[in-house]
Amino acid sequence: MKKYILMASVVFGLILAAGCIYYVPYPEVVYPPPEDQGYYEEDYRDYPSRLDTSYFYDHLAPYGTWVNYSPYGYVWIPYGTRYGWRPYTYGRWLWTSHGWTWISSYEWGWAPFHYGRWSWDVTLGWFWVPDNIWGPAWVSWRNGGAYMGWAPLPPDVEFVFGVGIRKLPYPIPDTLWVFVDGRYFLHSGIYNYVLPVERNYTIVRNTISKTNIMDRNRVIMNQGIDVEIVSQLTKTKVSKYEIMDSQDPSTAVVRSGEIQVHRPRIRENERAEPRTVLNVEEAKEVVKKSKIENVAEETSRSIEMRLKEEQSRETERMEESQKEEVKRITRIKEKEAEEAKTTEEKRVIEEKYKNQIDEVKQKHKTEKTLIKQRHEKEEKKVEEVKSKKKKIEKKEVKETEQSKVKKTKKIDKEDSKESNTRKTKKI
């Protein structure tokens, strides 16, 4: 068993490192322990058999690792996520018969974004807590001004039959929100428009939170942001899609007017367990090592270049967003100034928005400082990788030389023994 755990740990470390070894994690976030959840009986149509939680364990095993994490039990951590990855970022949003529905770009996306909840651990990163109730997207929303935002619901937020989820027991931490400029909300490659987490410093305070997951005629719906608001921000007519069932557990198929998704009925099975499981300490050690060890077939130079590219894109998105924010305030100021009836009214408006712009620019400076600090920490980790690689290479060279010396001594010893044997025979 230990052998299999060790093998799983090595594989997990290498693959996890390939995706996010340099992204500096968010501050510590602690959610309260979960409460028991009731099962929501929805008519799950014509799937050939009733599946249980082992279906999650088996299907997700090739794409991540299972960890025994108290108090949630078995949780799952994905392999190979991209730099700065957060749940509900690699895919797209579509308006469907179930409200706002997340269409993941991952083959494994049918499960972790439609069942269960996501949570954050400062060492392990993002992990998924399984549950057996299907939903279009288990997220809360924020919107205001020109921004759209969402965040995974915490593990202890329960869907109540006949009620749904209308409010949260406590605020979701600022750093766990995902924001985009509203005009990009319907973009199929929304990941490329997700703003750096440092922008949350300003945006969270200028947006309103809304959680609205409803039970409507035994259909779970995530109403989220009003369709009219999305249409205004994106300057696009929002199309509605019907969700159709698919028995293929792979990426959802979007066709004209419909989406084929895999959403089987899952039963709880307390006796089921993943075939390979790490305990928390093993998982933390694996993740810790993955942050400083070199990735197979990737040089430290290419790692450094990739990091610089990602950081550059982040900085560009931040600066573009900040400039656009100032422009929007300026446009509102100019419009109100034009409508002013007296010189005094115009002066008050000018003063009001001058102070607002100055305040926003000051917040922008703070955001730039925060992202610079994070980037410096990430660059430091690259240096640690280089240093670690050199130590490993020196150790390998030393071990090779020692092996050669031992082999040479062994050969010399055998030659000496053979020579002595020959001399004895001659005598």
pLDDT digits (tens, 9 = 90+) for 179-235: 999 999 999 999 999 999 999 999 999 999 999 999 888 889 999 899 999 999 999
- CA pair distance 14, 214, nearest whole angstrom: 41
Asked which of 221, 255, 290 is the last residue of a domain, the reply is 290
- CA pair distance 65, 80, nearest whole angstrom: 11
Asked which of 265, 290, 315 is the last residue of a domain, the reply is 290
Examine the domain organization and report whether 232 and 344 are in the same domain: no
Examine the domain organization and report whether 329 and 270 are in the same domain: no
Q: What is the pLDDT of residue 11?
A: 38
Q: What is the arrangement of strands in the sheet containing 91-96, beginning at the earlier edge strand?
A: 213-216, 219-222, 99-104, 91-96, 240-245, 258-261, 253-255
Residue type present at position 80 = G
Examine the domain organization and report whether 285 and 369 are in the same domain: no
Instruction: Record the pTM.
Output: 0.80
Residues in Cβ contact with 169 at an 8 Å cutoff, skipping those fewer than 6 apart: 32, 156, 157
Q: Is 410 a domain residue?
A: no
- pLDDT tens, position by position, 344-396: 999 999 999 999 999 999 999 999 999 999 999 988 887 877 777 677 777 77
Residue type present at position 158 = E
Examine the domain organization and report whether 342 and 198 are in the same domain: no
Examine the domain organization and report whether 59 and 77 are in the same domain: yes
Give the residue numbers spanning the domain of 351.
300-390
Number of H helices, E strands in the chain: 7, 18
Mean pLDDT rounded to a whole number for the chain: 83
Examine the domain organization and report whether 354 and 279 are in the same domain: no
Instruction: State the alpha helices, DSSP H only, in 136-215.
Output: 200-203
For residue 193, what is the DSSP state? G
Least confident of 19-33, 46-60, 312-326, 332-346: 19-33
pLDDT, greater one: 322 or 80: 322
* Nearest Cα to Cα of residue 31 among 4, 58, 69: 69
Asked if residue 121 has pLDDT above 70, the reply is yes
- pLDDT tens, position by position, 75-97: 999 987 878 889 999 999 999 99
Share of the chain above pLDDT 70, in %: 80
Asked if residue 304 has pLDDT above 60, the reply is yes
Report the Cα–Cα distance between both ends of the chain, in Å, rounded. Answer: 59
- CA pair distance 235, 229, nearest whole angstrom: 10
Q: What is the pLDDT of residue 16?
A: 43
Binning pLDDT at 50, 70 and 90, where does residue 299 land? low
CA 348 remoteness from chain centre:
45
Binning pLDDT at 50, 70 and 90, where does residue 2 land? very low
Examine the domain organization and report whether 306 and 195 are in the same domain: no
Asked which of 251, 266, 290 is the last residue of a domain, the reply is 290
